[in-house]
Structure 1
Amino acid sequence: PAVGRIAAFVNKHTRVTLLAAWLPIQALIFVAQTVAYKDASAWASVVFCTVFLALNLGTFLSRVTGVSSFRPTYAFFNKLTALAGAIGSVVIMFVVSPLGSAAAILFLVALITGFELIHDPRRVFWGDAAQPLWFHLVRKWLLMLDVRKEHPSHWRPNVLQVTCDVE
């Protein structure tokens, strides 16, 4: 319920959302000027790599699970490049700042766990993990339909008997 309200607010008020994304960046720049540029740049790098981790992990899982709506146009994309990108992001995160990386990964795990606890599967209308399986099954059975059997030479009479007495 809360996620839907946030999404509706974001779709309705794009300028407010842009401002909400701009403020933390400005706060980070302010911290960089007052504390130490090295610390702030390390945190910014960790946040940047966290975004790449989520993106690469999402594309890897989409490819591995066979989501039918996932059609990447990047010529060199495959599941190994996505996995390598996710692993590379984690390695770079821990090289830059081990404490910040642990905090960022814990934040991602808490965020995913929170979404899983909050979201009600009965109220989700945009699909789920079973959608690719259903799509595959429907496509398979539709392709098995033989259009040649619709020819009049294959017609067989069917008898339908209608009665009033059900006994």
Structure 2
Amino acid sequence: VYFYIGAFAAAGIVLNGRLFGGPTGNAGALGSMPVPGPDGKPTQLIDVASIAMLEKALSAKGIDGSYLWTSPQEWGEIGAELDDWIASAAQALAYAIVAASSVIDFEAAVIDGWMPLDVRRRLVDAVTDAITGIDAEGLKLPVVREGTVGIHARALGGASLPLSERFLIGPTTISRSA
């Protein structure tokens, strides 16, 4: 399962090296997956793990977070708001990964997105830790790892779909290095 954390949290299902869209093309809409929110009440993954939520937290403290969208390689020192967002996003992503793993036996859960490499690394580490606190008895959980495409993942993935449909036979093949 592949998670792209950008303005909104999004995901894709990769099975046997191929992007799986399902009969309606909406398989992997894990941004809509119910997860516990920071207050413990059910909410959607998109309402916790999206970078828009970090911007909202910064705004609530009187900090202009618009630079999050113009400089994804370097956000500078954000402080407690970033720490809180990582903790909340990691908990929500951990629940989404465990829930997805109860349906499909994924080899890996890849987390990528519109964020600096150090933030992505911290998020992946926090997700790995958060998963250990969830009762996953009976499940073989995937390895959580960082994506390798980063800020360009959505654009490259979106651009590859029409090319794959037009020039390749069968469903879209995804590289294992993603």
TM-score for both structures, normalised by structure 1: 0.28
- Looking at secondary structure, tell me which structure has more helix per residue: 1
Rg comparison, structure with higher value: 1
Structure scoring higher RCO (CA < 8 A, sep ≥ 6) equals 2
